[in-house]
């Protein structure tokens, strides 16, 4: 698709952020390019409209940027998957491991119902730990995760292999 190279080049890479040796993929420059940003949303909407998806689950924080416009365009609700102690209501949570230590992801009880079909959105997949926690959280309450979608995949980290049977769709690959 001719839109992809322009999306790719609108993403800025910042070396040594947040720590030495990390090449951080910065999507904020993609948001400044109105054509590339709307093409990003359109590519996801074209893929997911008509797929009977009732939930778009967005992962804090950058899944909150891409998820809502996709949700509105495909007629699905948006459900935030948040860092611990941010959601005010009753939550269910799922722990996952980071490079050093653990983190937790939370979702409001009652936001989704058993039998619903969900799409999970984030900006980037690295090790796949974050997406796999989101999949477990939704599956625990009986939701079918149709697919995970990210703008960028760091394919060298093989995060895709941690997602089990759930497919992963990405726009841009970055070794």
Residues binding ligand 5GP (CB under 6 A)? 24-25, 27, 59, 62, 122-130, 159
Query: In terms of Cα–Cα distance, which of 27, 102, 6, 119 is closest to 68?
Result: 119
Residue 18's CB is within 10 A of a number of other CB atoms, namely 7
User: Alpha-carbon distance 58 to 64, whole Å?
Assistant: 5
99 is catalytic: yes
Q: Minimal distance in Å, beta carbon 159 to ligand 5GP?
A: 5
User: Which candidate in 62, 106, 147, 153 is catalytic?
Assistant: 62
User: Alpha-carbon distance 27 to 25, whole Å?
Assistant: 6
Judged by beta carbon, residue 46 or residue 161, the one nearer ligand 5GP is: 161
Q: Minimal distance in Å, beta carbon 129 to ligand 5GP?
A: 4
Q: What angle do CA 65, 59, 56 make, to 5 degrees?
A: 75
User: Which candidate in 47, 94, 95, 99 is catalytic?
Assistant: 99
60 is catalytic: no
Judged by beta carbon, residue 26 or residue 42, the one nearer ligand 5GP is: 26
Judged by beta carbon, residue 48 or residue 96, the one nearer ligand 5GP is: 96
Relative to beta strand 77-81, strand 168-173 is unpaired
Q: Minimal distance in Å, beta carbon 17 to ligand 5GP?
A: 8
Relative to beta strand 55-59, strand 12-15 is unpaired
Which positions are annotated as active-site residues?
62, 99
């Amino acid at each position: 698709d001719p839109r992809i190279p322009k999306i790719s080049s609108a993403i800025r890479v910042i070396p040594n952020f947040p720590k030495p040796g990390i090449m951080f993929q910065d999507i904020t420059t993609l948001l400044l390019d109105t054509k590339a940003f709307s093409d990003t949303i359109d590519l996801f909407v074209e893929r997911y409209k008509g797929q009977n998806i009732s939930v778009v689950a967005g992962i804090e924080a950058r899944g909150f940027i891409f998820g809502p416009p996709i949700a509105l365009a495909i007629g699905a609700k948006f459900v935030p998957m948040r860092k611990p102690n941010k959601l005010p209501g009753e939550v269910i949570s799922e722990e996952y491991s980071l490079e050093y230590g653990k983190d937790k992801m939370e979702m409001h009880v009652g936001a989704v119902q058993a039998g619903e079909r969900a799409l999970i959105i984030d900006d980037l997949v690295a090790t796949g730990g974050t997406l796999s926690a989101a999949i477990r959280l939704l599956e625990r309450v009986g939701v079918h995760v149709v697919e995970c979608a990210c703008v960028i995949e760091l394919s060298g980290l093989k995060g895709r292999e941690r997602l089990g049977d759930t497919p992963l769709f990405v726009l841009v690959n970055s070794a």
